[in-house]
Structures are given as structure tokens and as C-alpha cells.
Amino acid sequence: MCGAHAAVRHLLGGMQELNVITVIDMEAGLEHLSRGTDRHVDALLVVAEPYFKALETARRCVELGRELKIPRVAAVANKFRSNRDLEVVRKYAASHNIEILAEVPYDDEIQSADLAGSAPDLGERNAAAAAIEKVAVALGL
């Protein structure tokens, strides 16, 4: 058993009793699911970017989340640059019975802030910020 995954799993189990809202950004891929790190979560949001390998990984994460009986499993379409990109994600999700909770467009400001190692300063009219707000609303936060 991986010590880091066991520690996170234990921490999440303890937080469940506190009835607090916690958002955890896990690394991409299946390892945290296969090791049971997400055992105590109420929702699993899988990021789906408009690339075949990313979509295949997202599908496998959704399937594993369902097998683990996570109460809510959905995808967030991310970093799409065009309507074509978005349609690719939508079509793939529909063909695999995956709910898309929100659609976050690619944003130069977010990438620039990330490269600078700082938080993006997004106004309320920013499309990416609005999509992220939609995630919070859909989860009842």
C-alpha cells in the first residue's frame, strides 16, 4: 500500500465525520481510484479534455468511480478551444453515458497565470470562471 495514498484516505475518512466541504485535486489517471484514496468522497469529477487519450482515461475513471459506488460521478469538459472540440467531448460522453457537469473553455489568462505560478485574476464575466461556478452550483455548494 502506498503511504501517501493511505494518508490521504485516512484524512478524508476523518473529515467525513466533520461534515465539511472539501475539494481535492487528485493527479490525473487511475491510481488514486485503484488504491481507494477516493473511498470517502461524495462526488468524483473527472476532467475530460478534447483528446482521445484524455477521453479514454476519463471514461475509465468514470467506470471505476461507478464500480466503487461513489454517489455522484460526472465529467467536466475542459480546455476546449472550439465548438468542434466541445462536440468531440459531448459526443464521446454521450456514447459512454457520462454526465457532463460543466464545460470550461480554454483561457489564455489561466494559462499565463499558471506559467507565472500565480492565481488567475478572473472577472465575473469570464467564461471559464462562470463554468467553474456552474460546477459549484450543480454540486449544491
pLDDT, tens only, 51-109: 999 999 999 989 988 998 889 999 999 999 999 999 999 999 999 999 999 999 999 98
Enter the pTM of the model: 0.79
Which residues, 6+ apart, have CB-to-CB distance to 26 below 8 Å?
32, 37, 38
The number of C-alpha atoms within 13 Å of 79 and in the hemisphere containing its C-beta is 10
Residue 95 maps to a domain? yes
- What is the average pLDDT across 113-126? 86
Residue 10 maps to a domain? no
For position 112, which CATH number holds? 3.40.50.300
Residue 4 maps to a domain? no
Residue 12 maps to a domain? no
Q: At what angle do helices 83-95 and 52-67 cross, to 10 degrees?
A: 40
Show the domain range for 130.
42-138
- What is the average pLDDT across 29-58? 80
How far is CA 68 from its chain centroid?
16
What does pLDDT average to over the chain?
A: 84
Residue 3 maps to a domain? no
**Number of domain units in the chain:** 1
Residue 125 maps to a domain? yes
